[in-house]
Chains A and B, each alone.
Chain A
Amino acid sequence: MPESVSNITAQMPRAKLAGLLLFFLGPAVAIYTLFSIYPLVATMALSTYTSDPSGARSFVGLANFKTLLGDALWSKPFWNALGNNLIFFAVHMCVQNPVGIALAGLLSLPGLRLRGFYRTVMFLPTMLSVVIVGFSWNLILSPLWGVAAGALKAVGLGSLFAPWLGLESSALVTLSLISVWQFVGIPMMLIYAALLNIPDELIDAARVDGLGQFRIFFHIKLPLVLPTISLVSVLTFVANFNAFDLIYSVKGALAGPNFATDILGTFFYRTFFGNQLQLGNPTMGSAVATVMFFIILLGLCLYLFFVQRRIRRYAF
C-alpha cells in the first residue's frame, strides 16, 4: 500500500533505511527463521536419511517414504492413523460447525438478554488445556464413577450406557466429540462476530418484506457468513491433522484400545520418540512429519484455490 507510507520515510537514505530495517525486523525474523522455518526444512531434509545404531547418518533418498507407505510393518499403522484422523476431522465438521453456527445464531438474536453471560460460559472450555479436558471427561465417562451412567438412568436411558472410551468401536468418536465439546467456542465466536458485522439495513429490509427470524437467518445471514465458515473449517483441518494432546492424555502414546484412536500426531510421536514397543527413530519420524506437512499443505491449497477463490467478498 504505497499511500500508507509517508513521503518522509520514502526519501530516507538507503543506509539509514537498511539500519532501521535490521533493528526493527532483525530479532523477529531471526528467531522465527531459526526456530520455526529452519526446523521444518531440516526435518524434511532429515527424512531422506537413515541412521544406523552407531548414530551415523547416510542419505537414502525417498526410501523412508517407500517404507512408510509400502512396508506392511509401517504402512498398516500409518493408514490406520490417517483413516482415524479423517474420522476425527469428519466428526468435527459434522458436529462442531452446525452447533457453532446454531449457537452463534441464537447469541446474535436482537434484544437477547444475558448475552455476555452465555458467551463467556460457553467459551470457557476452549480456554482450558486439552489435557485437563480429556482427563475430566475420562473420569465422567468412567463406569467406576458412574456419573454419566447415572445421568442417563435419570432420564430413563440407562440401558444406553457403555464404557465408550474403552470400546474399540466407540473410543475414537467419543474422543472426537470431547474435542468438539471443547473447541465449539471458536466457530461460535468467529461466526458470531461475522453475524454482528452484517449491516442492519439488510436485515431491516428483509423484515419489512415480511421474512421471519428463521428465514432471515437461513436466506440472508448464513450465506453472508459462509467465508467465515470456510475459514473455520480450514482452521479445524489444520488443528485436527496436528492433534495429539487429547489422545495422548486420555489413551497414552499407544492410542488404545488396539490403536483404535491412533491419529497422525500420536503415530508421529511414537515413531520419533519411541515407547514401550519400539525405539525412537528420528529419521522415520521426520518422514512422518513430512507426510503430515504435505497433508496440511494439501488442505490449505484446496481451501485457497477452490473455496477462497469462489467466495464473493462482500464489502460492508
Chain B
Amino acid sequence: MTTEQRARSLGVHVVLIAYSLLAVGPILLVVMNSFKMRNAIFGSPLAPPDAATFSLIGYEKVFRSSHILTYYSNSLIVTLVSMALVLLFGAMAAWALTEYRFRGSTALALFLSIGIMVPIRLGSVAILNMMRSAGLNDTLTALILVYVAQGLPMSIFILSEFIQQIPKDLRDAARCDGVPETRIFFEVVAPLLRPAIATVAVFTIVPIWNDLWFPLILTSSDSTHTVTLGVQQFLGQYITDWNSVLAALSMAILPVVIIYVILSRQLIAGLTSGAVK
C-alpha cells in the first residue's frame, strides 16, 4: 500500500466511524443514563454509570406504575401470530399464483400488489367502524387481522420470487408419483422456503412491533396496549420524571437491539438479496 492509499483508507474509516457514532450515540446515551441516579443524569450525562452513580430506581418505577409486562406479552403475541399467518397464507397464495395457470391470475397479482404501495392506514375510519360493529374493538385479534392484511402483499411478492427459483423437476416428480397438490406444497415446497423467512420477517416483524397508529386507534385499555403505545403513554404521563422516562425508553429499545444483533446478518442479507430492487 502506498502512503497515499493508506491516507485515503484512513480517511474513509474516519468518516464511517464518525457516522457510526452519530447513529448509536443517542441510543447509548439514553440506555447508559437510565442506570444512573437523577443528579448524575444531569450532572455528567456523558459519563457511564459507576459504583457511586448506579441506580435502578427508574426501572423500579416503570415496573411499579405501568403494565410493562402486559405490554410486552401483547406485542409478542400480536407480532408472532401476525407473522405466522402472513408467512402461511402468503406462501400458499404465492404458490398458487406462480404454479397454476388460470384466467385472471395477472389481475389478481396486480390487485394484491396495491397493498405494497398504498398504506392501509388510510382506511382507518372504516377499519374502526368494522371492528366496532364486529365487537372486536379493543382486542388483540383486531390488530392481528389488520397486520396480516398489511403484511400479505409484500410477503406474497417476495415468496413468489423464491418459489420460482425452486427446480420444477422436484414438484413434477412428486406429481408423477400421484402425491396430492396440498402435500406437494406442505411437504416438498414449504420446507424449501425456510431461507425466505428471514426476508419476510424483516418486512413484517419490525413494522408491526414498532407500530403506534393501529394500537392507538384500535385499543383503548391497558390490557390490550402494545409496548410502543404503552411506553408512549407512559412517557407522556411521567415526562418530568427523568429516571422513569429513560428506563422506559431503554426497556423499549433493548429487546429490539438484542434481536437485531442476533439476526442482523440474516436481516441485512434479506434486505440486500434483491427482494426489493
Contacts and interface: CB of A to CB of B under 8 A. Distances in A.
Contacts of A118: 16, 20
Interface residues of B, dominant DSSP: helix
Contact of B124 (A32, A43, A132, A228): A43
A9 B179 CA distance: 13
A173 interface: no
A6 B168 contact: yes
Contacts of A297: 118
Interface stretch (A21-29, A84-92, A198-206): A21-29
B25 to A, nearest CB: 9
Contact of B123 (A123, A132, A289): A289
Taking residues whose C-beta sits less than 8 angstroms from the other chain, chain A's interface range is 35 or more
**Interface residues on chain B, size class:** 35 or more
Contacts of B102: 17, 21
Given A9-B101, A34-B149, A127 B119 contact: no
A24 to B, nearest CB: 4
B51 interface: no
Contacts of A103: 16, 19
Contacts of A106: 12, 15-16
Contacts of A169: none
Interface string A231-262: 10000001000101100110010000000000
B217 A273 contact: yes
B97 interface: yes
Given A25-B97, A122-B19, A190 B276 contact: yes
Contacts of A159: none
Nearest to A112: B12
Interface in A177-191: 181, 189-190
Given A35-B145, A39-B130, A140-B26, A128 B261 contact: no
Contacts of B260: 124, 127
Contacts of A124: 23-24, 27, 257, 260
Contact of B126 (A25, A46, A122, A123): A46
B52 interface: no
Interface stretch (A58-66, A71-79, A142-150, A160-168): A142-150
A10 interface: yes
B231 A132 contact: yes
B209 A129 contact: yes
Contacts of A293: 118, 122
Contacts of A1: 164
Interface stretch (B54-62, B65-73, B192-200, B267-275): B267-275
A292 interface: yes
A4 B168 contact: yes
Given A4-B168, A103-B19, A128 B115 contact: no
A95 to B, nearest CB: 13
Given A120-B268, A248-B212, A137 B98 contact: no
A288 B198 CA distance: 36
B99 interface: yes
A282 B217 CA distance: 12
A248 to B, nearest CB: 7
A227 B276 CA distance: 11
A285 B232 contact: no
A131 interface: yes
B264 A43 contact: no
21 contacts: A4-B98, A9-B99, A21-B96, A23-B92, A25-B92, A27-B92, A39-B130, A40-B118, A42-B126, A43-B125, A118-B20, A121-B24, A122-B16, A124-B260, A129-B210, A131-B231, A132-B249, A135-B245, A190-B277, A252-B236, A297-B118
User: Which 7 A-B pairs have CB atoms at the shortest separation, nearest pair first?
Assistant: A39-B123, A193-B272, A35-B149, A42-B126, A24-B96, A28-B93, A129-B210
